[in-house]
Amino acid sequence: MSSIDLQAKEIKPARNTFTHVAKHIGGDKPATRYQEATLGLQPTQNFHYRPTWDPQHEIYDASRSAIKLADWYVLKDPRQYYYANWTITRARQHEAVEANYSFVDSRGLLSRMTDEVRESACKVLMPLRHVAWAGNMNNTFICAYGYGTAITAACNFHAMDHLGIAQYLTRFGLAADDPSVLDAGKNDWLNDPRWQVLRRLVEDTLVMKDPVEMFVAQNLALDGLLYPLIYGSFVDEHLTLKGGTAVAMLTSFMPEWHDECARWVDAVVKACAAESDENKQIVTGWIQAWADRVQAGLAPVAEIALGEHGQEALAEVRSAFNARVAKIGITL
Amino acid sequence: MDKRVEKKKLDLASRYQALTQDLQWDTSYQPTEKVFPYARYEGIRVNDWSQWQDPFKMTLDVWWRQQSEKDRRLYAVLDAFAQNNGQIGVSDARYVNAVKLVLQAFAPLKYAMHRALAHSARNLPGDAARIAAQIQATEQLRHSQLTLHAASVYNKYFNGMHAAPRWFEQAWYLAPVKSFADDIASAGPFELMVAISFGFETLLSDTLYVPFMSAAAHNGDLSTVPVGFSSQSDTTRHKQASIATVKFLLQQDALNVATVQRWVDKWFWRSFRLMPLVAMLQDYMVPKRVGSWKESWDTFVEAPIDALFEELAPYGLKKPAGWQAACAAKDHLSHQAWNAFYGYGHALAFHTWVPGHDELEWLDRKYPNSFDRWYRPRLTHYAQLEAAGKRFHNHALPMQCQVCQQPMMFTEPGDGRWIAYRETKHEAESFHFCSDQCQTIFSNEPEKYLQAQLPSHAILQGSQGEGFEDALQASIANVGVVIGRDNGEFHGSEDDTNFTQWGGGQDMKEAQL
Amino acid sequence: MSNVFIAFQANEESRPLVDAIVADNPEAQVVYSPGLVKIDAPNRLVVKRETIEEIIGRKYDLQELQINLVTLSGNLDEDDDEFVLSWKH
């Protein structure tokens, strides 16, 4: 069958990519791995059975959301994550965390922290394990019931990231103190009055039904205020000044991750709002309502973290948040 | 002041425990029933979720590290394959039709499993079980994306791949896979865990991802092989977790046993009804063969599953109802499937052909009980027709089973003379099935299965195929299959002539192992 | 008595795993097919970290064997030192 041929044969491709990918990228051009792994992947029609758990809808059903999009693939991820490059990125980031743990261990930075700083860090960070757990559940929800691979795959990764963060927080607690600190954090989460406004709102997110509203509430409003407050105002700007550099090092993943994801979150929300006036109105209403609730929920937490400076810090965080959403075309 | 003493490194079990347990809490502002709305409707009872133990105990950091190691290597292979025109290194261009079928059928199936598992991952009340389901969900996405990436190079140079997702949605011959995928996606959180990781992955997935992948290696497919093997390493964890899940459900409440048995029976059989595709991949579509479907069945299904069910017997679980029938089919499945697909070659999105002389001899050696008696005569006849310029095309619209949606091409267990037909009247309408097991599946959930959109019925209601060989061919042309280019006889096809022109292929001496 | 089995991608990295398994499981049978190495054993198969470390001359984390693992059959019990496949019946 094969013959030795000294002249190189020209082997020309018949096409650059798949038809369904070409449709989304404006023609048969070379496509990226992200594009080939994402665009047009989710079936849209001809379903044989209705979900036994929700016979009012089809298996994949855009009408689960109040948001209307002509093409759900406008919700592209600017980071262009498919499984492999997402997991490789996270593994690399984890190596940095391990390096930080080694550094902190070898110099005894944790044991050199004052009890005041240690307790303050744990008081604030341990209950957040549960907030991250809810973030995991909520993003899993969007993966299950959202429409189109662009948003559902990205939320799958985001759900796993939240679990990773819950585990990083747990690990921090075990490193900084003994295991009883986890129980104390859970107890605060369940019973300390200062956490209850936040917990109530988190539990309300767990029973939402609109996957896009879920996205806005969890990934924009909640995380968009929580992360800058905790890892910016509290850990970076407050604890490190009191000798808590180790805390910043051992939680370094979280603010970096938040900044990386903000690009994606903003792109998704922007695309939803840009499609139509109706969408924009709905999205604006969601952001307004949830950001206000989150701010109210974080007010007592800001006090635990920053004492008398808590409200000022929270106001700054809210202000920055408003500026962020203004940049994507939403006026609150 | 230092409160803690030098800490011992936590062992695997303790580390896992510390980093996964107790993140969940009992909600009080919202009732549990609202947070987990689908926990009860399937009738499964769980009294103590803490009894569910993940056998692999992997934390996220370990998972990210291991998986990134696998994918770094894998994508390096895919890059090299693309860069070096690896697609002309396969044994012969007939092999590529195996890649086409895997892309058309199994990549979308993995996608459906990914989304379905997200449903379980959100709705099972137990936290450790949810984490396992999430990891599985993410890995199914991985598998579907890997398959697409591996096929990407082939798609550039060969036909029959360019609109695979659309064909999955609408092509008649992929309806068995689509209806399976939709059946899973429409099931409840407990059932779909059993369906995917126990029914499909534990009982049957090795046949596609192990011996077939070895055959792919033997045929020079450096792209698909590592994808298949690496995917299956994830599936190994899913399988172990599913065995833990099944034991857990059986132990939690005696009332669960009947439900779990029904699910095991149903999903074993529905998965088995996907195996005609895998069987013919292995026996007919890989030019250089590694082992027969029958041998794969013996090694990767019959023996290990026998052992598994012996293990599960004390928990009250019996072998699936269709077990005997499935084992009895091992001498016939691949041949019946290829026979049907060959005849419908004008209405598929891949090529078909009659195997060459050496290949027929190999099939005879591997199937001494059945090949010469039942199947060689047909293939010989097809070859003669082809030589006389009258290549056989079956223009009869296939009758499809209401449940599995396969064409009625399976013979009665133990009697190769008769196609198996079963019929049920439900509310004055007749429904048709390929087997006792599909009939039973229907009778357990008639409201579900009567919803199905059988392609044959849709075609009968539509046009009769003016301008095409028949209505079946018209139906695939309507969904973007290019007649004569994406399908038809392999010999003389564009794939065939291109491949020869490119100087592709391997020495076929001693091709069959 | 039923077989358990474990299969790896056949490459340089899995070779020491195969050698370790053969050393620790006298009744194990190794079967090669293109790209794949499969090891069958009656009823029980153990993979020991220590044996692998002796062969490769460096520390080894048993979880690493996932990288080249393809499939297995049997009940799995795993800790930091041993990976055991067995049937209880």
A218 vs C34: CA distance, rounded Å? 49
For chain C, report the end-to-end CA distance as a whole number of angstroms.
8
Of residues A2, A144, A170, nearest to B505 (C-beta)? A2
In angstroms, the separation between the Cα of residue C24 and the nearest Cα of chain B is 22
A134 vs A128: CA distance, rounded Å? 10
In angstroms, the separation between the Cα of residue B463 and the nearest Cα of chain A is 18
CB B138 within 8 A of CB A156: yes
A15 vs B77: CA distance, rounded Å? 22
B181 vs B383: CA distance, rounded Å? 36
In angstroms, the separation between the Cα of residue A118 and the nearest Cα of chain B is 10
- pLDDT (mean) for B433-457: 95
In angstroms, the separation between the Cα of residue C80 and the nearest Cα of chain B is 6
Interface residue of B8, B233, B299 to substitute, partner C, most C CBs within 10 Å? B233
The string of DSSP letters for A197-238 reads HHHHHHHHHTT---HHHHHIIIIIIIHHHHHIIIIIIIIIII
> Is residue B8 scored above 60 in pLDDT?
no
- pLDDT (mean) for A112-119: 95
B226 shares contact with chain C (CB less than 8 Å): yes
A141 falls in which pLDDT band (50, 70, 90)? very high
pTM: 0.96
- pLDDT (mean) for B217-238: 94
B497 vs A14: CA distance, rounded Å? 13
A43·B72 Cβ contact <8 A: no
C22-36 pLDDT, tens digit each: 999 999 999 999 999
Chain A positions touching B162 (Cβ under 8 A) are: 15, 18-19
* DSSP 8-state symbol, B195: I
B40-91 pLDDT, tens digit each: 999 999 999 999 988 888 899 999 999 999 999 999 999 999 999 999 999 9
C79·B225 Cβ contact <8 A: no
Tokens of A159: 């759900």
B187-214 pLDDT, tens digit each: 999 999 999 999 999 988 999 999 999 9
* pLDDT, averaged across chain B: 93
A173-214 pLDDT, tens digit each: 999 998 899 999 999 999 999 999 999 999 999 999 999 999
Nearest CA in chain B to A179: B18
> Is residue B455 scored above 90 in pLDDT?
yes
Q: Which of A229, A234, A233, A235 is nearest to A251 (CA)?
A: A235
* DSSP 8-state symbol, A13: -
**What is the span of the domain harbouring residue C59?**
3-86
CB A305 within 8 A of CB A194: no
Chain B positions touching C76 (Cβ under 8 A) are: 55-56, 240
B121·A144 Cβ contact <8 A: yes
Residue A9's pLDDT is what? 60
B170-180 pLDDT, tens digit each: 999 999 999 99
Tokens of B167: 């064909």
Check which CATH number belongs to the domain holding C45 and give it: 3.90.56.10
Burial C31-50 (b: 16+ CB within 10 A, else e): eebbbbbbbbbebbbbbbbe
Residue B154's pLDDT is what? 97
Residue B6's pLDDT is what? 46
Nearest CA in chain B to A166: B23
Q: Which of B31, C48, B171 is nearest to A43 (CA)?
A: B171
- pLDDT (mean) for A94-98: 97
Residue B414's pLDDT is what? 80
Tokens of B109: 């199936």
A139 shares contact with chain B (CB less than 8 Å): no
Residue B351's pLDDT is what? 97
Chain B positions touching C71 (Cβ under 8 A) are: 206, 209-210, 232-233, 235-236, 300
Domain count, chain C: 1
B17 falls in which pLDDT band (50, 70, 90)? confident
* DSSP 8-state symbol, B91: S
- pLDDT (mean) for B451-457: 91
Residue B430: alpha-carbon gap to chain centroid: 29
CB B259 within 8 A of CB B311: no
Lateral strand order in the sheet of C44-48: C44-48, C82-86, C75-78
Chains in contact with B, counting 3 or more C-beta pairs less than 8 Å apart as contact: A, C
Give whole-number Cα distances, B380 to B63, B97, B286, B411, in Å.
Answer: 52, 22, 19, 21
ipTM of the complex in this document = 0.96
Residue B5's pLDDT is what? 44
Q: Identify which has the larger pLDDT, A92 or C77.
A: A92
In angstroms, the separation between the Cα of residue B513 and the nearest Cα of chain A is 19
A248 residue type, one letter: A
A abuts C (3+ Cβ pairs < 8 Å): no
Nearest CA in chain A to B152: A17
Chain C positions touching B69 (Cβ under 8 A) are: 67
Q: Which of A292, A124, A160, A322 is nearest to A217 (CA)?
A: A292
Contacts of residue A226, Cβ cutoff 8 Å, sequence gap at least 6: A128, A131, A294, A298
In angstroms, the separation between the Cα of residue C23 and the nearest Cα of chain B is 24
B232 shares contact with chain C (CB less than 8 Å): yes
Do you know the residue count of chain C?
A: 89
A290 vs A269: CA distance, rounded Å? 14
Of residues C34, C35, C66, nearest to B66 (C-beta)? C66
* DSSP 8-state symbol, B11: P
- pLDDT (mean) for B467-483: 94
B236 shares contact with chain C (CB less than 8 Å): yes
A258 shares contact with chain B (CB less than 8 Å): no
> Is residue A4 scored above 60 in pLDDT?
no
* pLDDT, averaged across chain C: 95
> Is residue B460 scored above 90 in pLDDT?
no
Q: Identify which has the larger pLDDT, B11 or A8.
A: B11
Tokens 């690009």: give the residue: A263
Chain B positions touching C85 (Cβ under 8 A) are: none
A1 shares contact with chain B (CB less than 8 Å): yes
A11-37 pLDDT, tens digit each: 889 999 999 999 999 999 999 999 999
Chain B positions touching C64 (Cβ under 8 A) are: 66
In angstroms, the separation between the Cα of residue B367 and the nearest Cα of chain A is 28
B146 vs B148: CA distance, rounded Å? 5
